[in-house]
Structure 1
Amino acid sequence: MEKRKPALLYLGNRLQKHGKNPTGVDFLGDQLQAWGYRLTRGSAQKNKALRFLHMHLLLWKSFRQRPLVLIDTYSSLNFWFAVSIALNCRLLRLKYICILRGGLLENRLQNSSFWCRTLFGKASANVALSDFLAQRFALYNYSTQVIPNGFSIEDYAFKSRNNFVPKLLWVRSFAEIYDPLLAVKVLEALYQDYPQAELCMVGPWDDLAYPACKAYAERHNLPVRFTGKLSKAAWHQLAKDYSVFINTTRIDNTPMSVMEAMALGLAVVSTDVGGIPALVEQDRHALLVPSQNLKAFYQAICRSINEPEATRARCLAARAKAERLDWSVIKNKWEELLLNV
C-alpha cells in the first residue's frame, strides 16, 4: 500500500518579491508542490520581526493538520528563528526537519551548544546539503542525511566553448561575505594583460558592498557591468556571452549559482571555502583557490584562458556532475525521508 504524503509546513526566508535571490523555501518548495505534497510556506514578510511572528502564526494556524515542519536553518540571526520554531513544534508535538543551509553553522555548534542540542538534537531529521556539513555535524555527534540542492537540468542549455576569453561573470547578492569587491580587483589585475577583459556582476544590491564595488570600478576606469537582480532566464541568456564564472565568497555551503554555472558550460573558478570542495573536485570540475587571494584568482583565470582543452574537459565534467543533481534524482531522497520520518 502506497504511503500517504504528509502535509508540509515549510518555514524560511521567502523574500524573492522584495528583490532578494530565491532560497530553499522557494525552489525546493516549488518542487514539493509539483510532487503532490500539500504545502504551506512562509514567510515573505520583509521586516524581520514581522517575519518571525508570521512564521509562528503559520505554525499555530496549521497545527491541527499535523504537518511535518521543514525549517531552513542558517547560522546568523535566523538561527534563533529556527530555535524558536523548533521549541513551538515540540510544544505542539509536531515533527520537524532542519535543512542546514548556513555556511557558518559549525560556529553555532561550537558557541551555542545548548541551543544546538535543543534544535538539532530533537529534530526528526537534519538534512545536510553537502558532505562538508554532514562531516562537521558528525564531529558533534549529530546525525544528518545528505540531500544536495537540486534543480531542473532541462532548464539549463549547455554551451560548448572552443575558446575561453577573459569575460567574467559573477552572480550573487552584493554582501560582504561574498566578497564582490575581490571580483572587481581580479578584473583590474587581468586588465593589465588582457585589455579586452570585462566583468558582469549580477545580483541584488544588499548593503554597502555594491556602492564600494561601483566606486572602485569607476575610480579605476574598469569595464564592469552591474545588472542588478535578474530573472533566472535572463542571466542564463546573458551567460552565453561570457566564458569564466567566478565565485569569490568567503563563506558558503553549496551555492546554487556555482551549480548553475556548471550546468551552463562556464569555466568555474571559485574559492575553496565551506562545502564547495565537496561540490566540485579541484581540476576535475573547477579550479579552486584560497579565499581573499587575488593572485590565485588571477592565475587560475589565466590558466582557464591559456589551456582551452583542459578547461573544456572540466566544463564537460562539471555538466555531468550537474546532471546528477537533477530533481529527478534528488526527488527519491526527499520522498524516502518525508514518507518515513
Structure 2
Amino acid sequence: MKKIIYIGNHLKSANPTTLNLLSELLMAKGFHVKIYSNQSSRIMRLMHMCWGVLSNLKASYILIDTYSTVNFYYALVISQLARCFSIPYVPILHGGNLPKRLQNNPKLSKFIFKNAYVNIAPSSYLLEEFQRKGFQTRFIPNAIELKKYSFQNYVFQEPKLLWVRAFDAIYNPSMAVLVLELLKSTYPNATLCMVGADKDGSLKKVKEIALKKGLINSIEFTGYLSKEAWIEKSKDFNIFINTTNIDNTPVSVLEAMALGLPVISTKVGGISYLIDDNETGLLVEKKNVQQMTSKIIELFKNEEKAIAISKNARKLVESFDSGKVQQQWNEILK
C-alpha cells in the first residue's frame, strides 16, 4: 500500500477544502493517507507539517496544497525537506495569486516548482501560467461529488443572494453588502446570506458596514456550516455571488453551479477560465458593485436566461465529478 503525506489546511473551524474530498478519494483507491496539519498556530502548524514528513520518510509521495500567501512558505519548507529525503512531492496549485509569486519570487518559486515530481493545476489559468514559466504541470480539476448536489429549479421573483467563502479581505466580503444596498433600490425585499468562518477579522468589519447602512436585518450570517448544511441552506436562495479580488477555481462556485444557482462573479484569476460569460454564469469587473447589481437585475428581468445559465453550468461541472478526478490522480500516483 502506497503511503501519501498530505500537507494542507485541516483546521476543523475552517470551511472544508479540496483536501477533505481528495484524501477520501485517494483512500478509496487504496492509498494510505496521513494529513498534516490541524494546528491553528502558524508556528505549530509548520512544526507539525515538518514532523509529518520526518515521521514518514518511507512515504511514496507528499502532496502540498500551495497558495500564494503565508502558505507559500510552508510549501517552500516542506518541498525542500522532501528533497533532502528524496521523497517525490506534488504541489497542488490553489492560489489565484500564484502567478504574482512566480514573478516576484522567481528563485524561491524555482526551488519549489522546478524540483517537483509534477505540479498539479486545478485550473487552465494556472496551467498556462506555470507551463509558460517552464514548470512541468498537469491539469486535474478540483473535484465535487456530483451525486450530493441535486439540481434545483429556482423561483426568480425577489433576489435572495447567497455568498459562501471564508471572511478574508482577499475575497472582498464587504462588496456583497454594498451590492445588497444598491439592489434594494429596485427590489426592497432582497436578502443576503453569508456563509463562512472568519479568517482575518473581516466578519466584524462586514457586520459594521451592514449595521451602518441599515441592512443588518436583511443579512443572515451563519458562520461556518458543514457542506451538507450549506447545500440544504442553498435551497432558500436563487443567486450565488462571488465577490473575490483574487481567485483560482473555487469549489464553492463549482458547487453552486452544480446546484443550479446562477453564479455572478468578479472576473479575476481563473474565474474567466471557468465561467463563460452569459453562458455558464455572469462576470463583472473586480470591486464593481454597480455592475454586479445590474447583472442580478438583468437575470430577474430575464428568467429564461437565468434558467439557461443554470442548466449550462450544471452540464459544465459534470467534468469535475469526483469519479473522473479520482481516476486522473490514480494515474499520476499509481
| Band of TM-score, shorter chain | over 0.9
Work out the CA distance in 1 between the residues paired with 2:322 and 2:313: 17
Q: Report the AA paired with residue 11 of structure 1.
A: I
TM-score normalised by the chain length of structure 2: 0.97
Identical residues among aligned pairs (%)? 39
2:92 corresponds to: 99
2:293 counterpart residue number: 298
Structure 1 moving runs of 4+ over 6 Å = none
The alpha carbon displacement at 1:143 in A equals 2.3
Match of 1:142 among 117, 131, 135: 135
Task: Work out whether residues 10 and 40 of structure 1, in 8 Å CA contact, stay in contact via their aligned partners in 2.
Answer: yes
Shift of 1:209: 1.5
Residue type matched to 1:71 in 2?
A: I
Paired residues of 1:268 and 1:286 also in contact (CA < 8 A)? yes
Q: Report deviation, 1:164.
A: 5.0
Give the Cα separation in 2 of the matches to 1:190 and 1:147. Answer: 37
Q: 1:214 aligns with which of 197, 207, 211?
A: 207
Q: Does 1:251 align with 2:240?
A: no
Distance, in Å, in 1 between the alignment partners of 2:203 and 2:98 is: 26
Where does 1:150-161 land on structure 2 (aligned, <5 Å)? 150-161=143-154
The code of the aligned residue for 1:163 comes to F
Q: Is 1:22 equivalent to 2:16 in the alignment?
A: yes
Relative to structure 1, the CA distance from residue 201 to residue 60 in structure 2 (aligned partners, 3 Å threshold; closer, same or farther) is: same
CA contact (8 A) 1:12 1:24 kept: no
1:50 aligned to which of 44, 50, 62: 44
Aligned in 2, Cα 1:66/1:226: closer, same or farther, shift over 3 Å? Answer: closer
**Any conservation in 1 of the 2:141–2:325 contact (CA below 8 Å)?**
yes
| 1:80 to 2:73 alignment | yes
Aligned match of 1:199: 192
Q: Give yes or no for the alignment of 1:171 onto 2:164.
A: yes
Q: 2:4 aligns with which of 5, 8, 11?
A: 8
Correspondence 1:68 to 2:61: yes
Structure 1 position 187 matched with structure 2 position 180: yes
Contact 1:25 1:42 (8 Å CA) reproduced: no
**How far apart are residue 145 of structure 1 and its match?**
0.2
Matched residues in 1 for 2:201 and 2:35: separation?
30
Partner residue, 2:274? 279
Match of 1:309 in 2: 304
Contact 2:39 2:48 in 1 (8 A): yes
How far did residue 244 of structure 1 move?
0.4
Matched residue, 1:31: 25
TM-score (ref. length: structure 1):
0.95
Asked if the contact 2:89/2:117 (under 8 Å) is kept, the reply is: yes
Give the equivalent residue in structure 2 for 1:112.
105
* Cα distance in 2, alignment partners of residues 270 and 83 from structure 1: 31
Tell me the amino acid that sits aligned with residue 148 of structure 2: D
- Opposite residue 53 of structure 1, the aligned amino acid is M
Aligned equivalents of 2:59, 2:290: Cα separation in 1: 54
- How far apart, CA to CA, are the structure 2 residues paired with 1:66 and 1:190? 53
Aligned-partner Cα distance in 2 for 1:144–1:129: 10
Could you list the per-position Cα deviations for residues 79-126 of structure 1 after superposition, in whole angstroms to 9, with x for gaps in the alignment? 111111111111101111111111111111111111111110000100
CA contact (8 A) 2:195 2:225 kept: yes
RMSD of the TM alignment (CA)?
1.2
- 1:184: how far off? 0.2
Gaps of 5+ in 1: none
User: Does residue 322 of structure 2 align to residue 327 of structure 1?
Assistant: yes
Structure 1 distance, partners of 2:310, 2:219, is: 25
Supply the AA of the counterpart residue of 2:9: N
Q: Deviations over 1:182-230 (max 9, x none)?
A: 0000000011111111111111122231112111212222111111111
Q: C-alpha displacement at 1:139, in angstroms?
A: 2.1
Specify the SS of the correspondent of 1:72: strand
Render the CA deviation track for 1:273-331: whole Å, top value 9, x for unaligned: 01111112111100010110011101110111111001100100111111221011112
